[in-house]
Amino acid sequence: MRRGLEFKKKARIIIVDDNYEHLNGVRELIEIESDFDVVATATSASVAISLIKKYRPDIVLMDINMPEKDGLSAIAEIEKLDLGVRTIALTGYDDPDLIFRAMKIGAKGYILKTMASAQLIYAIDEVAAGKIYLPNTLSSRFFEYFQKSFKEELQSISDEENLLNYLTQREEEVLDLLTQGVTYKGVAQKLFISETTVKTHVNNIFQKLQVNDRTQAVLYALNNGFLNRRKVKIAI
């Protein structure tokens, strides 16, 4: 990788790891096995943030398992700075939840410490080139987790125990307006019916959803995919 003449500028890197020995190990690896430029290192997230502001590196290798301020918060903070710095997360475990959260807040790559050094160099190369890189095994982990969380969401929506399914069409219209914070009077005007009728519908809704007031009804609707059901059924 990156053998021979290169026209690209050398990627400038900052390494963050609270384990001093591992930090130096990674540093040496990069300096020997690649032509990236390690411009700084840090053993804590807060120091890392300062260094990043100062050096504006292309890539940050961030160990996630750190005490005090953890690596995920650090990544989030780096992303918030919006300096175009691309972060690669580094851990010992392939915990799907960790991977998911890291990618969610903006990590551009995720590497295990147990992976071969060539893999690390390759990942840096890809990320430096503007891509997002996850090794296939981690990518699989990620997607399983990703789908599981959505599956639970879809299930709760399509459940026959979803009390929303017992609402009539008119009641749905009324509830829809309730979830927008409209009052009885407002609903009456929008649906061209009397305020009394609205109250009747609302009372029926309360009974069907087994709640006592509009706030709880709105919460039930929101928690049980009332707004999403259109997306799910029509546009996915």
Partner DNA sequence: TCTGATGTAGACCAGGTGGTTAATGTGGGG
Partner DNA sequence: CCCCACATTAACCACCTGGTCTACATCAGA
Binding site for DNA (CB under 7 A): 168-171, 183-185, 191, 193-197, 199-203, 206, 212-215
Binding span for a copy of itself by CB under 8 A among 22-30, 33-41, 73-81, 83-91: 73-81
Nearest of 157, 128, 153, 146 to residue 230 by alpha carbon: 157
Name which of a copy of itself, DNA, none residue 193 binds, using a CB cut-off of 5 to 8 Å depending on partner kind.
DNA
Beta carbon nearer to a copy of itself, 107 or 167: 107
CA distance 220 to 160: 15
The reply on whether position 166 binds a copy of itself by CB under 8 A is no
The reply on whether position 213 binds a copy of itself by CB under 8 A is yes
Q: Which two tokens stand for residue 216?
A: 């709880």
Q: How far is CA 74 from CA 59, 60, 138, 152, 181, in A?
A: 14, 11, 21, 30, 38
Beta carbon nearer to a copy of itself, 117 or 139: 139
The reply on whether position 162 binds a copy of itself by CB under 8 A is no
Q: Strands 37-42 and 59-63: what pairing? A: unpaired
Smallest gap from Cβ 101 to a copy of itself, in A, equals 5
Beta carbon nearer to a copy of itself, 143 or 166: 143
Q: What is the DSSP string of 149-180?
A: HHHHHHHHHH-TT-GGGGS-HHHHHHHHHHTT
Checking phi first, is residue 138 left (phi over 0); if not, alpha (psi -120 to 50) or beta?
alpha
Q: Which positions lie near a copy of itself, rule CB under 8 A?
A: 72-73, 76, 79-80, 101, 103-106, 131-134, 139-140, 143-144, 146-147, 150-151, 154, 158, 178-181, 183, 211-216, 218-219, 222, 232, 236
